[in-house]
Amino acid sequence: MARTRQPVSPRQKRQERAAIAFMLPWFIGAVGITLGPMVASLYLSFTEYNLLTAPQWVGFDNYVAMANDPNVAKSLAVTFSYVLIGTPINLVIALAVAMALNRGLRGLNFYRSVYYLPSLLGGSVAVGVLWRRIFGSDGLVNQFLGLLGIESDTSWVANPDSALWTLILLHAWTFGSAMVIFLAGLRQVPEELHEAASLDGAGATRKFWHVTLPLLTPILFFNLVLGIINSFTTFTQAYIVSGGTGAPAKSTLFYALYLYQQAFGTRHAMGYASALAWLLFLIVGLLTAVNFWASRKWVHYAS
């Protein structure tokens, strides 16, 4: 026997219209700002396009050219070095500072704001210019070495052996975001577990490795994934410190910087830049998937 459909009340109609009105701006934004540009970029990656003429379909030529482009390999090597060295250092410092602040210091909100501030400024042009000055030939680093009796006129940002390390140091300095998240996680660790470990004779080191750290692994995993994604998209610092060229000797030629050079440099190779962007998307997506797969081995969620 077929069921008779219940009539929809005016109140239900109003609620449905309100829900649609609420979701419509999100849907327009998702399609127009995210999904639409992604589809357009995917199409352009198979074309030759310089902003001045209509896109010309070239198939996989851009991807073949990427495989033979030495600058792609160089920029990937620089970026991977930055990610593999800078991200762990950033997380270690963030966790260490969070644990220090978790000891019930007076003025915690002040210290938390002070340590978080570099994360807000680290990607700015002003900090990039400041960093270039600090590590210049007459910068604060060489002045400090002079006070220690070590005379140096080396421009650390102009030396191929040290330029990347200055950017890694800048990355380590911007640990505030991860620190705040670690601090929130530390506040959720039950104190009873530390007390039980102390009764069993565990010292501070054993309590950290066997109590605190296992309970923080979800937070650590979250910060790790975000840190890797943010590191792969590093652009402003490298652009300012290297003058937009990846100098010296392409030691700071980050992948995002090379992508920018292809898109907005003299070539305006938007098709080739779109192919570069999709390669970056695939790399970051693959690494994120690997991290999620590996997290089953070391991330412990409280039941």
Looking at CATH, the fold of the domain delimited by 64-119+164-254+274-298 is given as: MetI-like fold (1.10.3720)
Q: Which residue from 69, 39, 43, 48 is spatially nearest to 272, judged by alpha carbons?
A: 48
51 φ, ψ to 5°? 75, -20
Across the chain, what does the average pLDDT equal? Answer: 89
Average pLDDT over residues 19-42: 82
Tens-digit pLDDT profile for residues 270-284: 999 999 999 999 999
Q: Which residue from 144, 151, 160 is spatially nearest to 241, judged by alpha carbons?
A: 160
Contact 178, 223 (CB under 8 A): yes
pLDDT of 302 reads 67
Contact 167, 82 (CB under 8 A): yes
Amino acid identity, residue 153?
Answer: D
Contact 232, 283 (CB under 8 A): yes
Decide the pairing of beta strands 56-57 and 47-48.
antiparallel
132/158 Cα distance (integer angstroms): 9
pLDDT of 303 reads 59
Contact 62, 50 (CB under 8 A): no
Residue 41 corresponds to which tokens in the numbers above?
């970029």
Domain spans, the chain: 64-119+164-254+274-298
**pLDDT tier for residue 5 given thresholds of 50, 70 and 90:** low
Is pLDDT above 90 for 218? Answer: yes
Distance of CA 58 to the CA centre of its chain: 33
Nearest-10 Cα torsion for 244, 69, 84, 127? 10
First to last CA, the chain: 46
SS3 274: helix
pLDDT of 164 reads 95
Average pLDDT over residues 98-125: 80
48 φ, ψ to 5°? -105, 115
The dihedral through the CA atoms of 25, 31, 35, 40 has a sign that is negative
**pLDDT tier for residue 102 given thresholds of 50, 70 and 90:** confident
Average pLDDT over residues 163-190: 92
Q: Residue 278, Cβ neighbours under 10 Å: how many?
A: 19
| pTM of the complete model | 0.87
Q: Which of 61-75, 77-91, 109-123, 259-273 has the lowest mean pLDDT?
A: 109-123
The vertex-107 CA angle with 102 and 109, nearest 5°, equals: 70
Contact 244, 27 (CB under 8 A): no
Residue 85 corresponds to which tokens in the numbers above?
């060295």
